Amino acid sequence: MERHKLAARVEQIAPFQVMAVLARAKQLQSQGEDVIHLEIGEPDFVAVEAVADAGIAAIQQGKTGYTSATGLPELKCAISGYYSSRYQVNVAPERIIVTPGASCALLLMASLMVNAGEEVLMPDPCYPCNRHFLIQSGAKAKLVETLPENGFEMDLNTLEHHWGESTSGLWLASPSNPTGAVLNQSYIAKAWEKVNGLGGHLLVDEIYQGLVYEGDDFSALSISDDIFVVNSFSKYFAMTGWRLGWLVVPDWAIEGATKLAQNLFIAAPSVSQYAAVRAFEPDVLAECEARRQTLNARRLVLLAGLEVIGLPVVAPAHGAFYVYVDVSGVTQDAMAWCLALLETEKVALTPGADFGIKDAHKYVRFAYTCDETRLQEALARIARFIAS
């Protein structure tokens, strides 16, 4: 007789396929192999030195206790000021819920707005954890097929067709992981108009906000105060391990979000919050902007190199630090191809099956998270692998 049994929801959560790639890549490295990592969504940057110094100062000054559940007041004010100065959007600090990473913001969002048994619409492909957070809440994601020729944007004219009695809302991301595509302001405005008309909620994942190279860098909050927005210190501010993000909620959701924050995580890490206040000073923002330019230069190198070796980029890679590539001209199994490439040429990539269902075997995500010399070496190795 079986004595121990995991909760049924665990079986519904798929592991990351890229973890098999990463595990093998680390094993090869431990054997002295020169592995080029283009698989993980973490650039070779760390927090700006001034931000790290602010974190050290917080520890030295004993600022290590709990903060308010919704965040340090001065950090919430700094985030509010950032929206005002950079995006010309008025966001009251009270609407900002500081969280232990954007992952907790998404988990809070799932608990706040989606009932058990309901569903949320998301484009296919999208970041997989978003749908797994819904499973934790007894809900589910409904992936809507998109087309590469449309940059994998969901066709909003068909939204009513996909919307059902149990649909709670629509979750979008811009810039997108895995495609690097950026949604424009009119698209978000149309999405909000349709979702609002259907009685649902709209969440826009802006975790890669700031990392836009072509098109407008804006916030969905400029369209309506009733749109939910998630953001993070991990990407533009390069504070991945500090585990700090935030959720912006409408006025009417503040009380509910506060109760959930108190119970789900008590408070975000205090040292990280004190450090993050420093992130909004002009000198730090200037360094973050310089890093954005560095990422853009890498993007252009990768796009040009992929064209030379004949691997089609299937979405406008205008933001984040990703390029989504069609490898169906060289393989019918992207996962097997990624593993073979790693074994043969020691280049690690992420297979498309981590992000979606429709034709996922055709796609691979490249992350331009290392310097241009390494990118060019990776491209040379991939070209050699294809030729062989």
Lowest mean pLDDT among 16-20, 32-36, 80-84, 382-386: 16-20
**Beta strands at 322-326 and 363-367: parallel, antiparallel or unpaired:** antiparallel
189 vs 1, which has greater pLDDT? 189
What is the number of other CB atoms lying within 10 angstroms of the CB of residue 344? Answer: 12
Contacts of 336 (CB under 8 A, 6+ apart): none
pLDDT score for 17? 79
pLDDT, position 2: 64
Q: Using one digit for the tens of pLDDT, what is the confidence trace for 292-302?
A: 999 999 999 99
Least confident among 12-21, 186-195, 208-217: 12-21
The string of pLDDT tens digits covering residues 15-24 is: 877 888 889 9
- Identify the band that residue 311 occupies on the pLDDT scale cut at 50, 70 and 90: very high
Range of weakest confidence among 4-18, 47-61, 79-93 = 4-18
Residue 237 has pLDDT above 60, yes or no: yes
- 155: tokens are 């066709």
Amino acid type, 94:
E
| Full 3-state SS string of the chain | CCCCCCCHHHHCCCCCCHHHHHHHHHHHHHCCCCCEECCCCCCCCCCCHHHHHHHHHHHHCCCCCCCCCCCCHHHHHHHHHHHHHHHCCCCCHHHEEEECHHHHHHHHHHHHHCCCCCEEEEEECCCHHHHHHHHHCCCEEEEEECCHHHCCCCCHHHHHHHCCCCEEEEEEECCCCCCCCCCCHHHHHHHHHHHHHCCCEEEEECCCCCCECCCCCCCHHHCCCCCEEEEECCCCCCCHHHCCEEEECCHHHHHHHHHHHHHHCCCCCHHHHHHHHHCCCHHHHHHHHHHHHHHHHHHHHHHHHHHHHCCCECCCCCECCEEEEECCCCCCCHHHHHHHHHHHHCEECEEHHHCCCCCHHHEEEEECCCCHHHHHHHHHHHHHHHHC
Is it the case that residue 285 has pLDDT exceeding 90?
Answer: yes
pTM: 0.95
Q: Helices 282-309 & 49-60, crossing angle to 10 degrees? A: 130
Domains of the chain, start order: 10-46+284-387 (3.90.1150.10), 49-281 (3.40.640.10)
> Could you tell me the pLDDT band of residue 115, with boundaries at 50, 70 and 90?
very high
| Confidence at 1, pLDDT banded by 50, 70, 90 | low
- Whether the predicted pLDDT of 3 surpasses 90: no
> Which residues are within 8 A (CB) of 45 and not within 5 positions of it... i.e. 6 or more apart?
238, 291
User: pLDDT by residue (tens digit) across 266-278?
Assistant: 999 999 999 999 9
Q: Note the Cα 237 to chain centre separation in Å.
A: 13
pLDDT at 301: 98
Could you read off the pLDDT of 218-233 as tens digits, one per residue?
A: 999 999 999 999 999 9
> Average pLDDT in the 332-361 region?
95
User: Average pLDDT for residues 361-380, to the nearest whole number?
Assistant: 97
Mean pLDDT of the chain, nearest integer: 96
Residue 144 confidence (pLDDT) above 60: yes
